[in-house]
Chains A and B, each alone.
Chain A
């Protein structure tokens, strides 16, 4: 039998294998693009899920952390002429540092101060990206970012880039799973349910909130630098309030407090507009209808629905009649 502490490693290895095989089932290379963007969004959703799904803290500015890192590496690798790995490091560090600066004062307070602070922050970042034309290129975007090359290997083909994103995503999933299955994860979930009870268990709630907020911004930062060196072009419209809300929807739709749910939500919401492209003008209506249906029929998100189906199968196997009224619980 597998030792208990290696269970997450096995899950992540299985996930990595699935990601590795995915391109072989795609009809053409265009879909690789969507997989890459899905993977990048899944990376942000993973981080946001740690903050929102587990610790119960809402950020409405994660698109800005994503964008900050993307612009930082863009400026560093072009105007400043720095090597790509240095630019990427700067980008991720900047997102984490800014999160720390926002979190320090706001996370000491109880209530929805973080949501308000990040909302304001996201809007400010978006305005700065649009207005500081000399640095960012303004509304028309920043062009000429170099395609990623590391240790002499250039990720020129979309397929090679996909495998890079897949590897990072699988590692991030393993990181999240291991973090959750430890006293840190228990502390985060405790904060979500009862801050008083968490305190009496010796949990430094302000410290843990700050830690997980900075961590989730760093995840968004990693996604941001991967995004910039993939598209080689960034524009403010990708990092607005709309995208911040979409990220929250990915986590909620996927299933709060589920690593797999958050990633499923991200891939689903990334692919859905592409799948609906054929419907032309009515695509946005169908998009909305699908979201409403998801929330109505899967109140606990995709992960909750999957857990429910799994339980039902288990019960049928044991030959019992399915009971009614059991809620979906996601661990």
Chain B
């Protein structure tokens, strides 16, 4: 699985915030059909790397490619339309919309009708809106929130909001789904359910997953490959078993 051509590859990317170097010449690949984890101590640059891949953080140097196509200069919403979609460490659900509307918003770029179609309620609008709604409901079923579809997203409990973000992200039918600490704030039981869900995203929906996470049980349990970042550089990269045995990684986590 992991020896196929990379779906997404980052080469020699560097990001600086003022005088602080957040990422220095980082190479990182995600193979098609895998769950690839990105781990590292706090401040290692994991979220910054996600930002650079999605275009939300500007890189001073380096390239990002999706299936061989250079996407370095494309803005975030265009990258999203090409299939690079992410979730957020601090929940970013649309609190003032219902659960269903949140997921329908995730399909924004897939709803095939224009502004005028909407205003004039043309048949194209009706068909597009109906299809969007049905697909959104399907994704809500997938994460198990279908019964909450008419609830305001802001009123959902924390764990459910995490699931909602996931439903909204997969609703965009991405090729690469980047999850930024999806288990943060979840209890053991919820984390276990999340692990199952992430595996199903890969296996049932066929979406490649990039996972930034601190929960090592989760990471080692579901990942096909792991890359370790430390102080903005790649420390190690390989299958989970090899990473766990790597003395440099152990040192970085436990301190010298």
Contact = CB atoms under 8 A, between A and B. Distances in A.
The answer to whether A and B interact is: yes
Most chain B beta carbons < 10 A, residue from A8, A175, A199, A331: A199
B144 interface: no
B85 A200 contact: yes
A183 B77 contact: no
Nearest to B152: A329
Contact of B96 (A178, A182, A257): A257
Interface of B: 54, 56, 75-77, 80-81, 85-88, 92-97, 101, 104-111, 113, 115, 117-121, 125-126, 128-129, 132, 152, 168-169, 172
19 contacts: A5-B121, A5-B125, A179-B119, A182-B119, A183-B111, A183-B132, A186-B97, A189-B94, A189-B97, A190-B108, A193-B92, A196-B88, A197-B168, A199-B75, A200-B87, A202-B108, A202-B110, A203-B77, A211-B115
A164 interface: no
A192 interface: yes
B80 A199 contact: yes
B148 to A, nearest CB: 16
Given A175-B119, A182-B125, A189-B105, 16 more contacts: A178-B121, A184-B115, A186-B97, A189-B94, A190-B108, A194-B93, A194-B94, A197-B88, A199-B80, A200-B76, A200-B80, A200-B87, A201-B107, A202-B81, A203-B108, A205-B77
B80 A197 contact: no
B93 A182 contact: no
Which 9 A-B residue pairings sit nearest by Cβ, starting from the closest? A182-B118, A202-B109, A197-B92, A199-B76, A194-B92, A202-B80, A186-B105, A183-B111, A193-B94
Given A5-B121, A199-B80, A193 B108 contact: no
Interface residues of A, number: 33
B101 A201 contact: no
Q: Chain A: interface secondary structure?
A: helix
Most chain B beta carbons < 10 A, residue from A182, A192, A199, A200: A200
Given A183-B108, A201-B172, A329-B96, A178 B119 contact: yes
A150 interface: no
A190 B129 contact: no
A199 B113 CA distance: 19
A151 interface: no
Contacts of B111: 183
Contact of B168 (A187, A201, A211, A331): A201
A156 interface: no
Most chain A beta carbons < 10 A, residue from B77, B97, B109, B168: B77
B141 to A, nearest CB: 20
A197 B125 CA distance: 24
